[in-house]
Structure 1
Amino acid sequence: MNKKEIFDDELQELAQFAKAISHPARLAILKYLAETKSCISGDISQNIPLSRTTVSQHLRELKELGLIHGEIEGLKINYCICSSNIYRYLELFENFFEKVKEAAVDCEI
């Protein structure tokens, strides 16, 4: 049995989301796509200070989790933010931390 399996699906999803957004490069990619407010065609690495290969690896991570879509159009790939998945993960995150906040335990030393 995988130790992750002892945790419920929601906690596993939250952990995957947190892992995906835990790298500054992936946050920069999401921020860039959000700021453009459209799908991006072409080489995102021109706008992110990393090599094309590194950017591709981070794009793959974001795509696997469903935070972005990448559709091939001819020789180019169009990248878009998947807002519905982002909203779903944010709602899970907010619900989780709302319960944590409600605990109202103050650990002042």
Structure 2
Amino acid sequence: MHAFDVLGDPVRRRILELLAAGEQSSGEVTAIIRAEFGISQPAVSQHLRVLRESGFTTVRAEGARRLYAVDAAPLKEVDAWLERFRGFWNQRLDALGTELARGRRARRTRDQKTTAPHPTTESSDD
């Protein structure tokens, strides 16, 4: 299964998000996914199996528990594919940074003008 086929499913993406925080038992993952998506335990197990078989997760036994963790190797494939498009994002992000800096400078200039003391004219009664 291609990486984008795996990541195309919102349940599997959410499972990976949960596992990105650290290793979790299948029971912990199942409880969260069932609460958030309203799907059955067997359906969650199927998603975990797809993630495991496609290499996105690893699983290890600890007694009766199965502990899942993210395996970053398939994510490198996604990252390599996205690399072609980063130039578009970086260019736009650079332009956004420039505009934000201009806005900050304009506000500082405006604020300095409104808070600067106005010269007063003193009148003499001599």
Say yes or no: does 1:41 pair with 2:29: no
* Unmatched runs of 5 consecutive residues or more in structure 2: 89-126
Per the normalisation by structure 1, the TM-score is 0.65
- Taking the TM superposition and a 5 Å limit, the aligned residue runs for 1:62-81 are 62-81=51-70
Separation of aligned partners in 2, 1:33 and 1:42: 10
Higher helix residue share: 2
Separation of aligned partners in 1, 2:40 and 2:2: 25
Separation of aligned partners in 2, 1:92 and 1:51: 34
Give 1 or 2 for the bigger CA radius of gyration. Answer: 2
* Unmatched runs of 5 consecutive residues or more in structure 1: 1-14, 102-109
Asked whether the 8 Å contact 2:3–2:78 carries over to 1, the reply is no
Partner of 2:16: 30
Report the CA distance between 1:84 and its aligned residue: 3.7
* Structure 1 runs, 4 residues or longer, greater than 6 Å off: none
Partner of 1:21: 7
Aligned residue pairs: how many?
A: 82
Q: Describe the SS at the equivalent of 1:47.
A: helix
RMSD across aligned C-alpha pairs, in angstroms? 2.1
Give aligned-pair identity as a percent. Answer: 26
